Structure 1
Amino acid sequence: MRWYHGYGPMTGGVLLWVVLVSLVAGAALVVALVALRGRRSGSATHVLDERLARGDIDAEEYERVRRALRPS
Structure 2
Amino acid sequence: MIGGLMMVVFWGLIIALIVLAVKWLTNDRSGASRGKPDAVDTLRERFASGEIDEEEFERRKKVLKR
| Structure exhibiting the larger radius of gyration computed from Cα positions | 1
Higher helix share: 2
- Superposition TM-score, scaled by structure 1 size: 0.46
